[in-house]
Amino acid sequence: MKIGILLGIGVLGCAAVWAADNVRPLNIKLGQWESRITTVKTGPPPMSPEALEKMAPEQRAKAEQIAKSMTAPQTRTAKNCLARADLNRSFGGFAENPSCQRTLVTSTPSQQEFKIECTNKGILTTGTVHFDAIDPEHVSGKIRMTMDHNGEHRTMNMTIAAHWLGEACPVMK
């Protein structure tokens, strides 16, 4: 599983999830939320030796330069609409992915924590997902993932701060 997939996760959908595994949803309000997500990555993205061998020297140098630039902290802000149905979805598709196992660590109305382990195409991804409902209008979270492939090791750490904007969600066109 690629780390980049995690960046596309709607953070509040993640924060308010989980009907299975005796998971209790976080006690947060429905409606529009704004999330600030900071991501820090270390290590090279996993690439197979075959892929590297097929690259021309210029391509390989460019790939290495891009990989190096990806380790700079990146912050983005996103708005999400949290609906009642989102409270019953599983975290970011991990539960539906047959190559992933999710282990519940903590589940209360104010705190959620899971351990994740995925194996896909020889890449082992492990990590922890933790969210705190500070109050019904504020959520903080941390996602820590590690990828191992052919002896290469990469980490991704995300910190999330989200706040409720209101009950009404704008219609997306």
Contacts 24+ apart (CB under 8 A), 145-149: 145/3, 145/6, 145/116, 147/3, 147/43, 147/46, 147/123, 148/46, 148/123, 148/124, 149/46, 149/48, 149/122, 149/123, 149/124
Bridge partners, residue 134, by sequence: none
Q: How many angstroms separate the CA atoms of 143 and 131, rounded?
A: 9
Average pLDDT, integer, range 40-50:
71
Q: What is the pLDDT of residue 131?
A: 93
Burial class (CB in 10 A: 0-12, 13-18, 19+), 41: buried
Q: Does the structure show a pLDDT above 80 at 102?
A: yes
> Please, what's the b/e burial string for 100-122 (b: 16 or more CB within 10 A of its CB; e: otherwise)?
bebeeeebeebebbbebebeeee
Average pLDDT, integer, range 97-112:
87
Taking the C-alpha atoms of 68, 69, 74 and 78 in order, what is their torsion angle to the nearest 10 degrees? -120
Write phi, then psi, for 88 (nearest 5 degrees).
-105, 5
Q: What is the pLDDT of residue 12?
A: 36
Contact present, 91 and 17 (Cβ < 8 Å): yes
Q: What is the pLDDT of residue 43?
A: 76
Average pLDDT, integer, range 5-29:
53
Average pLDDT, integer, range 38-52:
74
Q: Which of 29-38, 42-51, 86-95, 147-156 has the lowest mean pLDDT?
A: 86-95
Quick one: DSSP state of residue 87?
Answer: G
Q: Does the structure show a pLDDT above 90 at 137?
A: yes
Greater model confidence, 97 or 37: 37
**Other Cβ atoms closer than 10 A to 123:** 19
Q: What is the pLDDT of residue 4?
A: 35
Question: Per-residue pLDDT tens for 49-64?
Answer: 677 778 898 988 887 7
